[in-house]
Amino acid sequence: MGRYVIRRLLQMIPVFIGTTLLIFLMVNVQGDPIAGLCGDKQCDPATITQLRKDFGLDKPLWQQYLTYMGHVFSGNFGTAFNGEKVIDLMGSAFPVTIRLTLVAIVFELVIGIIFGVITGLRRGSFVDTGVLLLTLVVIAVPTFVTGLLAQLLLGVKWNIIEPSVSSAAPLDELIVPGLVLASVSLAYVTRLTRTSIAENARSDYVRTATAKGLPRHRVVIRHLLRNSLIPVITFIGTDIGALMGGAIVTERIFNIHGVGFQLYQGILRQNTQTVVGFVTVLVIVFLVANLLVDLLYAVLDPRIRYA
């Protein structure tokens, strides 16, 4: 196991460098960020030259990237064009998005797995057909439509929730936005669990456990569910980074000042430092989540061992 972890950590290094380089290049080809700093009027040449020198934009692109990576490894993600340090923006944005993501993952795990187990054990029944149709509708409807409908009905018409989340973003105000964010992933988790449960229910080890006279709930929870969760855990592990990075729409609808909000503002203002800094952290989250998922395989299925 130790050798496997070390090997995976070494594999993460070129992935991290390649991903951040690609993001850095893509953000920098969007246009000249200095052009929009003077408002509607065009900056005079002397001001542009000084600003480009202050932010290091007068250097070659490869040198800018090396300078940026040096700052990253020292814990400094640079300064935004409005003068704020990117690390300070992260300190206020990431806790909010992490809470929102945790709420979404709880919905995925609880509702998705419960519905998946019920439909997998009752494959072909009326309940199974109804859940499959419902998940198909959820997958087909875009997140911004689901979010706007939830905000209109629950927040405006029925006054069950506040239409906009407050600046503190407590957990109770993030329940509905978290459900909206998790809606599509929840539907996929339900379908994955259902398929895995239905396939493994016909396996020999399940028949043997049933023939031994074990209670049905023990067969389902300890034997069937445990082995059926491997594809679900794989999906959720890769979905963590997607939820944090894809929260732009949900955070915009409910006025949540998290990672999605900062990324949107950074893209809108062509703020290279902000966008690259936030996406760099999201890449790290994605890589670590995938490593943890691989290690969970051996916990869920004792037959899996890492040489």
Tell me the two tokens of residue 3: 């050798």
User: Could you tell me which residue, 218 or 75, shows the higher pLDDT?
Assistant: 218
Read off φ and ψ for residue 41, nearest 5 degrees: -85, 150
Tell me the two tokens of residue 208: 């043997």
What's the N-to-C CA distance of the chain in angstroms?
Answer: 7
| pLDDT given for residue 39 in this prediction | 58
Tell me: the pLDDT tens digits for 163-173?
Answer: 888 888 888 88
- Answer whether 94's CB lies under 8 Å from 50's CB: no
pLDDT for 42 beyond 70: no
Helices of type H across the chain: 2-28, 45-54, 61-73, 86-107, 113-121, 126-140, 143-150, 175-200, 204-211, 216-218, 226-228, 230-245, 248-253, 259-268, 272-300
- State the Cα–Cα distance between residues 131 and 112, nearest whole angstrom: 11
Least confident of 43-47, 82-86, 110-114, 156-160: 43-47
Report the length, in residues, of the chain. Answer: 307
* Domains, in order of start, for the chain: 91-256 (1.10.3720.10)
Mean pLDDT of the chain: 81
Tell me: the pLDDT tens digits for 231-243?
Answer: 888 888 878 877 8
- State the Cα–Cα distance between residues 34 and 48, nearest whole angstrom: 7
- State the Cα–Cα distance between residues 46 and 307, nearest whole angstrom: 61
Tell me: the pLDDT tens digits for 231-281?
Answer: 888 888 878 877 877 778 888 889 888 888 888 888 777 777 788 888 888
Reported pTM: 0.80
- Answer whether 250's CB lies under 8 Å from 100's CB: yes
| pLDDT given for residue 115 in this prediction | 92
- State the Cα–Cα distance between residues 252 and 258, nearest whole angstrom: 9
The DSSP letter of residue 55 is: T
